[in-house]
Structure 1
């Protein structure tokens, strides 16, 4: 017999349980059935709140955003320049996505289920417009940095070491052997698939510098 949950079953509780399971199963292994089992309810009970897995992913991404906002708001200092603010926001986004296995895949391409994103986005866009960006330029600047960060973390989580294991990641020796006839491509593996922290910072600096050079009004 299925036990009656002591805490009311709602969208937020389901999403939080799903995020907990995500670190154990990964995105491919996450299912409504597994979440129902963890909540000690029957799977059909979840369909009352989510019509399908994509609807659940939307709520999971929104819950991730709520948690991230609580952290990042405390880190933003008044009077911070746009470069520093944008860089700090992207560092925070990456740091938060890395807390979850396949976090970037869950977060990307979803539709937020409430307006949790609105106030932080408004604040960041205001910082950019006050620094000389047009509203359109500010939006493009934010999206460019955001897309870089999401894409980087997707690759990092796909190609880097599994956090559940002590070792792993891309086998650079095997890669170099396959690319023996292409020495530059072989050597590039060390830069692309090692030291993700340093690589992210270098790329982010290039992105922010490029944004300043091409999207900000002189």
Structure 2
């Protein structure tokens, strides 16, 4: 008896397979093999790989939203905490998948489910005194930083499957001995990803705060 596939089943399988093969190895043919169906059967649900990636990114966001709601929701005591916690949650979710940030970057969410967390998030900032424009820009700045940071973070990590070694800070410093500042910066650039992310996020929040004060929007 033939297996009746649905979009959710294909997306869940693709996300599981992603951790094994990475973005480069993720193909409709490989997913079909995992589901024990011919690849053409998947084209009933997804016209191409990008269509599938859009659905995968949407599912990543849905899962993050479920976890965030279980941890107390979107709005925190202050807008600063709201901005920081939401993007910490995004980073954690992306890091839970191999090449997670690359999958997420540049995709187009499908349906309207993604609007649920966005609406709640923007509402929490507007209620804190932001104009909608300021709230949207604050969100997008932190969002782009988070996506870019995780792409670089995952690219710099060890990946034995692809024969890629992570950045060795000590080896890098030795190789750049003629450039002492660049050599010494390696520890901050590649040594502690969590600390680097928090420092960048804090800088963005401070910038949003300063910009609002100059524009007279802060209250």
TM-score (norm: length of structure 2): 0.91
Could you say which residue in structure 2 is the equivalent of 1:54? 50
Given that 2:58 and 2:110 are in contact with CA atoms closer than 8 Å, whether structure 1 keeps it comes out as yes
Q: Deviations over 1:54-81 (max 9, x none)?
A: 0010011111111111001222356621
Given that 2:94 and 2:150 are in contact with CA atoms closer than 8 Å, whether structure 1 keeps it comes out as yes
Could you say which residue in structure 1 is the equivalent of 2:39? 43
Q: 1:189 aligns with which of 156, 173, 186?
A: 186
- Please state if 1:93 is matched with 2:97: no
Structure 1 unaligned residues grouped into runs of 5+ = none
Given that 1:179 and 1:185 are in contact with CA atoms closer than 8 Å, whether structure 2 keeps it comes out as yes
**C-alpha distance in 2 between matches for 1:137 and 1:79:** 18
Could you say which residue in structure 2 is the equivalent of 1:208? 205
The alignment of Structure 1 onto Structure 2 pairs a total of residues equal to 213
Could you say which residue in structure 1 is the equivalent of 2:17? 21
Structure 2 unaligned residues grouped into runs of 5+ = none
Could you say which residue in structure 2 is the equivalent of 1:104? 101
Q: 1:142 aligns with which of 139, 144, 161?
A: 139
Could you say which residue in structure 1 is the equivalent of 2:66? 70
Which deviates more, 83-92 or 168-177? 168-177
| Residues 79/20 of structure 1: CA separation in 2 closer, same or farther (3 Å cut) | closer
Given that 1:162 and 1:168 are in contact with CA atoms closer than 8 Å, whether structure 2 keeps it comes out as yes
**C-alpha distance in 2 between matches for 1:137 and 1:113:** 25
Given that 1:15 and 1:60 are in contact with CA atoms closer than 8 Å, whether structure 2 keeps it comes out as yes
Could you say which residue in structure 2 is the equivalent of 1:117? 114
Cα drift, residue 47 of structure 1: 0.9
Q: Deviations over 1:190-212 (max 9, x none)?
A: 11111111111111111111111
**C-alpha distance in 2 between matches for 1:124 and 1:215:** 18
| Residues 193/95 of structure 1: CA separation in 2 closer, same or farther (3 Å cut) | same
